[in-house]
Structure 1
Amino acid sequence: MPVFKVAVCGGEKLTLESIAQKTQAQFQQHECETVIDRYDNPLRLREKIFSGYSYDALFLDIDMPRLNGLQLAKDLRRLDKQVFLLLVSGREEYVFESLQAKPFRFIRKASFDADLNEAVEQLAGEMLESREDSHITVQSGTVSLRLNASRIIYVESLDKYLNMVAQSRNFSIRYKLSDMEKLLMPYGFIRIHKSYLVNYRFIFSIESRNVVLDSGQKLPLSRYREREVQQKFQELTE
């Protein structure tokens, strides 16, 4: 049974609890287990995610003190291109501004129950589909690994091993980079160097000799691959 990690962040306890309970109930109907964390302080949630912890979905109340939920959504979207963001607000004029954070849904407090029920039902289906579609199975020696391709940031070849840098953790496996490239190519990975594969979703910019990630980290870009990388990146982001 798949387990999904969800965070609910807002200043109103009743709203927090209602979202948590309805989310839990909807996922149970799909025979999915959810772990739901509740935050009444947006700064705590931001700190946890920026320290490396990841969630599958985030419910953010825009109308929060300390840190506006919309700004928090924009910050988290830059860090994680795949997370499902659902924004909640009593001010419907935020709908258009919220598009900058590419939310999955906008939940209006004026029609809270109807919007939430519809959003959670759709979210459960989308998350199940994305979880299934983005996993790959890798055989490393006698160990069979099931990896979520959408959460892998880049792959670095080091001797006979691959350093897999993911959102939640890093690990090494004994595997050929050319074989890994074939597995990850359908999920938007680009070969930028003889030793590097990178997930296009985490690319911030492409320079003459480097690929810059959203985190600010720079990866080497082969000179003879530059044009091809630029072209593939453009195709994937259109």
Structure 2
Amino acid sequence: MNILICDDNTAFAMQLEEDISEYFHNPNMNINVVTDHFDKIEGTYDVIFMDIELNDKNGIEIAKYHKDKHNCLVIFTSSHENLVFNTFQVEPFQFIRKNHYDYDKNIVFKQLKEKLLTLYITITLKDSKRSLQIPIQDIHSIVSIGHDLVVHTPKEDYMTTGTLKDFCNNYINTTLVQIQKNMIINLQYVEDYNRNIILYNNENLTVGRIYKNNFLHHYKEYKKL
């Protein structure tokens, strides 16, 4: 997991890095701290902590660029609480007020941990004679064909046995949700929803009548995170 901290206040950036490392205590978490040359940031990040005012650069525009490109979580930081309204165009995950840092960080870190657990959980599949661990964010959809389930990912499709109902029950607290008799989708790839139609990976999918309430419940909860 890659985390980016962008702030022209080096002391604050280093403190934030230390607090993130201490709270999450994850050896697989890589934290990159950038305190200048903000327009030359390279790499792919899962979470970005972005100061809104970066010398002569606009932190909101930089965050929007990276979110649009990599679909990362954005957490803005600022000493000016009134600027929070300017960030809505990015649809940030959260906002940390520097003048209330100790209070805000505990709330935001807790919410972020819950979100990451939802996004980065792995599922176990038995494909032929193999036992596979697949990150849930890699799953685009699961389709039932007869007594088999086809798990679609960007790299490969996997075949396993079982029912969609059992699959959903096994991974009930994840972003996987059933929308049709023969299909489960991943809420992480839902672009929009309107009147039973889901815009999903640039395709229109219809939510079945008996699955609508359950889908809406999970979709609203996911949007809150």
Q: Secondary structure at the match of 2:152?
A: strand
Corresponding residue for 2:178?
A: 191
Corresponding residue for 1:59?
A: 49
In the TM superposition, residue 59 of structure 1 has moved relative to its aligned partner by 0.6
Corresponding residue for 1:88?
A: 77
> TM-score scaled by structure 2?
0.65
Corresponding residue for 1:35?
A: 30
Question: For the structure 1 residues 209 and 78, does the alpha-carbon distance in structure 2 shift closer, same or farther, using more than 3 Å as the test?
Answer: farther
**RMSD, aligned CA:** 4.0
Q: Does 2:1 correspond to 1:7?
A: no
Q: Secondary structure at the match of 1:187?
A: coil
Aligned-residue sequence identity (percent) comes to: 13
Q: Contact 1:190/1:229 (CA < 8 Å) preserved in 2?
A: no
In the TM superposition, residue 88 of structure 1 has moved relative to its aligned partner by 1.9
2:75 maps to amino acid:
L
Question: For the structure 1 residues 18 and 90, does the alpha-carbon distance in structure 2 shift closer, same or farther, using more than 3 Å as the test?
Answer: closer
| Alpha-carbon distance in 1 for matches of 2:48, 2:106 | 15
Q: Secondary structure at the match of 2:140?
A: strand
| Alpha-carbon distance in 2 for matches of 1:22, 1:105 | 13
In the TM superposition, residue 62 of structure 1 has moved relative to its aligned partner by 1.1
Q: Does 2:223 correspond to 1:234?
A: no
Q: Contact 2:81/2:97 (CA < 8 Å) preserved in 1?
A: no
Corresponding residue for 1:203?
A: 190
In the TM superposition, residue 217 of structure 1 has moved relative to its aligned partner by 1.4
1:107 to 94, 97, 102: 97
| Alpha-carbon distance in 2 for matches of 1:93, 1:187 | 34
Q: Contact 1:155/1:164 (CA < 8 Å) preserved in 2?
A: yes
Q: Contact 2:175/2:187 (CA < 8 Å) preserved in 1?
A: yes
| Alpha-carbon distance in 2 for matches of 1:91, 1:99 | 15
Question: For the structure 1 residues 64 and 171, does the alpha-carbon distance in structure 2 shift closer, same or farther, using more than 3 Å as the test?
Answer: farther
| Alpha-carbon distance in 2 for matches of 1:132, 1:103 | 15
| Alpha-carbon distance in 1 for matches of 2:25, 2:195 | 49
Q: Contact 1:152/1:199 (CA < 8 Å) preserved in 2?
A: no
| Alpha-carbon distance in 1 for matches of 2:70, 2:5 | 18
Q: Contact 2:178/2:211 (CA < 8 Å) preserved in 1?
A: yes
In the TM superposition, residue 228 of structure 1 has moved relative to its aligned partner by 3.7
| Alpha-carbon distance in 2 for matches of 1:7, 1:162 | 31
Corresponding residue for 2:140?
A: 154
Corresponding residue for 2:60?
A: 70
Q: Secondary structure at the match of 2:53?
A: coil
How many pairs does the alignment contain? 209
Question: For the structure 1 residues 194 and 133, does the alpha-carbon distance in structure 2 shift closer, same or farther, using more than 3 Å as the test?
Answer: closer
Q: Does 2:185 correspond to 1:163?
A: no
Corresponding residue for 2:126?
A: 140
In the TM superposition, residue 175 of structure 1 has moved relative to its aligned partner by 1.9
| Alpha-carbon distance in 2 for matches of 1:67, 1:227 | 48
Question: For the structure 1 residues 126 and 31, does the alpha-carbon distance in structure 2 shift closer, same or farther, using more than 3 Å as the test?
Answer: same
Q: Contact 2:3/2:48 (CA < 8 Å) preserved in 1?
A: yes
